[in-house]
Structure 1
Amino acid sequence: MRIPPRRSRRRGLTSVAVLVLLFVIALVGASLVRLSVTFRDRARAHDRSLQSELLADAGLDRAFARLSAAPGYTGERWEIPAEALGAASGAGPGTAALVTIRVETASPGGGARTVRVQADYPPDPPRRVRSSREVVLSDTP
């Protein structure tokens, strides 16, 4: 039994239309996946930025507390583990954040002091976000 040529053309067109439709659906799906990955990466970058800002503020608070307890305090390198920040266990080895505090005096005899804080979260360069704070403290009440 032979199939008339008209009918085989319809089947061919239907097959081509289905393939084109599947290709379009695949393109839309790939675009949606790419878009969701981009939004996820932006959200993570924003979270790192916010955490870095909060760590810089915490570094200032720590410096003020140490200066109150010991006026000769000159600063420190404060390494904060991932567990203390509530980071996921897959955050990687070593420290999860690094806060560097420096207290400098304008003149050797005393006077105004400058407190500089730099927070790096996480400390590794590819994803690191750095925030800084600087406050000048005067001796006059």
Structure 2
Amino acid sequence: MKIDPYKAGKFKSSPYAKKSDVRGPLVVVLDGKIDDRGLSLIVPISRCIKKDEVHELILTDEATAHPGAIVNRIAYLGFFTAEQSGVLVEGDKVTLNGQVVGHLAGFDETHMPNHLNIVIKTTELKTGLELSANPGDQIVFQLQVKG
């Protein structure tokens, strides 16, 4: 029998102590907001992504956004390409050209295997266009160790 340690509640805190940053350029800038999107964030707090994969970045200002939650209020940031394989973890600090956009809230697999929806919790709900993002701008996910 397969047991998912996240669903089984075996972790009392994140097991991630150190990891490489995951980075890559935006390849698409999006401009759209939805108040009733209904994204279903998966329970696991991490996902592996492969070099050269393209994934969607979605922002939310919902304070309750976390693995296992439903997220409705969203703004589309864009799509980015991973420059190297790596692991994304809930709580990762997410920057756009060195400016903090927010922290990774979780993942929605609606469009898999085409791409993963990466949901980022932010304080100000803005689209990629409203953030003045451009193709080629650098996205970085950096582990935030809770201490």
Please give the range of the TM-score, normalised by the shorter of the 2 chains. Answer: under 0.3
Report which of the two has the higher share of helix. 1
* Alignment TM-score, normalising by the size of structure 2: 0.22
Larger relative contact order (CA 8 Å, sep ≥ 6): 2
TM-score (norm 1): 0.23
Which of the two has higher C-alpha Rg?
1
